[in-house]
Amino acid sequence: MTQPRPSLAARISLAISVFWRIIIKPEFALGVFRLRQGAEVERAEPAAKPAALLQETGPAAALQLLGLLQRDGRFIDFIEEDVAGFSDTEIGAAARVVHEGCRKVMREHFTLESVRGEAEGARLTLEPGFDAASLRLTGNVVGDPPFNGTLTHKGWTATEIRLPKLAVGHDVNILAPAEVEL
């Protein structure tokens, strides 16, 4: 749909407002200058990155997982224990029990895969457009890709999650009920 041509009064009003904007705003003046030269209008300042879209997450699944790790691996007990007074042998023995139980929970409720298939220590070249969400660059990160580096950790991605359904009314904030022996 074509727009009607502005009237003489509308054009005079536009000319006056544009005149003052050119005087007051150098960026606007640059844009008008480029238009007059026949060049494409470019922004005087680089476009701001769009703000990351954040989504709210409920704590229920995190609390449920923490409860499972506590139930089968005594994870919270281990983390909350002051281990300064224990020997390395005692800590190692406790860690073995915690590791076994936590590993059981992870394997029962998640299917995990490495983000990268190469062996740790392998040399990599990251071309422009690499997936920055699945790779964290460390060390002396300067300039633009391609980047050459060494894979120090293959990363993990969850390909399947199988958390149990929660009963209505279940309080997920109770990670482990207190125990009373009778």
Q: Can you give 156-173 as a three-state secondary structure string?
A: EEEEEECCCCCCCCCCCC
pLDDT tens for residues 102-125? 999 999 999 999 999 999 999 999
> pTM of the entire structure?
0.62
Domain residue ranges in the chain: 11-37, 60-135+145-161
pLDDT tens for residues 143-174? 999 999 999 999 999 999 999 888 888 899 99
B/e letters for 58-86, b = 16+ CB within 10 Å, e = fewer, are eeeeebbbbbbbbebbbbbebeeeeeeee
